Structure 1
Amino acid sequence: MTPVWRSLQYVPAHVEKYVSSPHIAAADAVILDLEDSVPADRKTLARAGLATAIPTVASAGADVLVRINDGDMAADDIVAAVQRGVAALVIPKVRDAARLKDLDRLVSDAEAGAGMAAGSVRFVVLIETADGFLDMLAIARATRRTVAINLGNEDFALDLGMEASDETLLMPRQQLVIVAAAAGIMPLGLMGSATRFDDSDAYRALALKSRRFGYVGSSCIHPSQIAILNEAFSPTAEQIVEARRLVQAAEAAGADGRGAFPIDGRMIDGPIVARAQALIDRHQTIEARETMRAGAENSPINSIT
């Protein structure tokens, strides 16, 4: 089942006050980071801390993801991260499909060692280099574990020698949405650079723009961005009302043998109705997640803790 990840909050895995912060509890997912936010001399500490960080985050109701390191550290990160309660690994700087297949095998071994069902841990792939971008479709299709793909805006811009901006990222960001659709996985991220967190209006506008381009969620670097992402990547009440009206009208038209019909001066046909139904389905999935999460938070076990 495809998860609902409107907001994915990065948290350095070695800083306990961030891992246990109540401010991250509203995120759909929390990414425990072993990579960029962890200094080189704290990598071992962060890796060891996953044993307590993972259940701490899971108890708050968010899905738990772990971003591993690239290169030689990846194997040790996987052994530490693949444990019950982890929904996915975030894989940075994927340059080709072969690398992802190698990591798939390592995760399979780690699942077996942890007594977990094969395929329990999914992949979120980060494209952050020019060669990875050029091999993006093969990467997206390399393993069934991959559930989402994202473009690391700043690293990608650095590799290309360009500035990370709405203008420069437009084409690669559009291309990523197309690749995700072709591979049947989720496109995550924002259509421009989002390293600032002190302008909520600009951030909201960027998130809404990203949704219009086909994105379904994004990672974030500050808890103040969580609510903005959850709202931006959720259908509005007005959109749901309109979508239901279109679907009901389509059913009535179909009963009369019509595949296309007018509403408010617009001609409505199959793709428009399918888009409306997809909106309704997403709304129901989000509602189901929120109901399940509320039930978990109010359970006797969580009440005691």
Structure 2
Amino acid sequence: MTPVWRSLLYVPAHQEKHVGSARVREADAVILDLEDAVPPELKATARAALGAAIKAVGRWGADVLVRVNAEAGLIEEDVRAAVRPGVCALVLPKVESGDDIRRIDRLVQAAETEAGVAHGATRLLVLVETAKGLLALPSILEASARIIAVNLGNEDFARDLGVEPSEETLRLPRQQMVIAAAANGVAPLGLVGQATRFDDLDGYREVAVRSRRLGHVGAACIHPSQIAVLNAVFAPSEAEVSEALAIVDAARMAGVGAFALNGRMIDKPILSRAQALLERRRMIERKIEDRGNN
């Protein structure tokens, strides 16, 4: 089952003031970062801080993920430190091949054995950040049953292509990512445009709305002010829920393969979308309820 991650907040693992902030409590997931947000001289410090950070974030009821470094010599240590009870997934940057995933899968399984974590419990969120990675995406997503979600690293991907990370340049690769995700049953995450500014929440909301229309089901963010925007945009609206309920109820009454409702022909694909939307709403409600019990 794909996760309910409408919002995933990046938090540097070594910065206690951010890790312990109550502002993270509304995020569906928190990504404790060992990579870009941590300077090289503090990598070991961030790794050592993971245990306390996981407990601090977990008490709010958010799913806890850890973004590891991709470089050899760092990823091995990061995986050993990050695979532990309380961590549901690792975020893998700069993935370019199925071989990358298979190698990491072996590292994770060894770390699970060492930490006493059930094999397969640690899932993977794949970050594609190069043209090579995008072209290899189908084989990447087929390489491990641990993969639960995929995202395109807008800034790094655009840099690799030599273009600006705009909606114009990202729309096609993001649509390709969504298609590959659907084919492999994983959650497509991210925004089809720049997501690094947090001083224009109205503009940010518009980008999120367009991203949802393309098939994305959530996105990572860098500032707590963006959480509420993502949670609202990537949840079914009241109007959508009302329409879906009407379709499901009419289908139950009609008892046939296709029927008319308010001047619209309803067939199996439309009914299936309505049912999926209502199931997503139930999953979000359960997540909110579970978080409220923490």
Q: Normalization by structure 1: what TM-score?
A: 0.95
- 2:213 counterpart of 1:215: no
**Counterpart of 1:300?**
none
**Counterpart of 2:14?**
14
Please state whether the residue corresponding to 1:192 is helix, strand or coil: coil
Would you say the 8 A contact 2:8–2:28 is kept in 1? yes
Would you say the 8 A contact 2:150–2:188 is kept in 1? yes
Could you tell me which amino acid in structure 2 is paired with residue 127 of structure 1? V
Q: CA deviation at 1:250?
A: 1.1
Q: CA deviation at 1:187?
A: 0.2
- 2:281 counterpart of 1:283: yes
Alignment of 1:56-67 (within 5 A): 56-67=56-67
Q: CA deviation at 1:145?
A: 0.4
Aligned residues: 293
**Counterpart of 2:98?**
97
Alignment of 1:132-211 (within 5 A): 132-211=133-212
Please give the per-residue CA displacement for 1:85-129, whole angstroms capped at 9, x wherever unaligned.
001000000010001100000000000001110011100000001
Could you tell me which amino acid in structure 1 is paired with residue 178 of structure 2? V
**Counterpart of 1:270?**
268
Could you tell me which amino acid in structure 2 is paired with residue 286 of structure 1? I
Please state whether the residue corresponding to 1:64 is helix, strand or coil: strand
Q: Whole-Å Cα distance in 2 between the matches of residues 4 and 247 of structure 1?
A: 22
**Counterpart of 1:299?**
none
Could you tell me which amino acid in structure 2 is paired with residue 242 of structure 1? E
- 2:51 counterpart of 1:54: no
Q: Whole-Å Cα distance in 2 between the matches of residues 130 and 212 of structure 1?
A: 24
Please state whether the residue corresponding to 1:150 is helix, strand or coil: strand
**Counterpart of 1:28?**
28
Q: CA deviation at 1:2?
A: 2.8
Q: CA deviation at 1:272?
A: 0.6
Q: Whole-Å Cα distance in 2 between the matches of residues 155 and 148 of structure 1?
A: 18
Please state whether the residue corresponding to 2:26 is helix, strand or coil: coil
**Counterpart of 2:125?**
124
**Counterpart of 1:227?**
228
Please state whether the residue corresponding to 2:149 is helix, strand or coil: strand
Flag as ranges the 4+ runs of structure 1 deviating above 2 A: none
Alignment of 1:71-90 (within 5 A): 71-72=71-72, 73-90=74-91
Q: CA deviation at 1:289?
A: 1.1
Percent identity over the alignment is 56
Q: CA deviation at 1:291?
A: 1.1
Please give the per-residue CA displacement for 1:138-188, whole angstroms capped at 9, x wherever unaligned.
001110000000000000000111110000001000000000000110000
Could you tell me which amino acid in structure 2 is paired with residue 69 of structure 1? N
Q: Whole-Å Cα distance in 2 between the matches of residues 210 and 161 of structure 1?
A: 22
Listed as ranges, the gaps of 5+ residues in structure 1 are 297-305
Please give the per-residue CA displacement for 1:246-275, whole angstroms capped at 9, x wherever unaligned.
011112111xxx321112221111111110
Q: Whole-Å Cα distance in 2 between the matches of residues 281 and 260 of structure 1?
A: 21
Q: Whole-Å Cα distance in 1 between the matches of residues 162 and 151 of structure 2?
A: 19
Could you tell me which amino acid in structure 2 is paired with residue 266 of structure 1? R
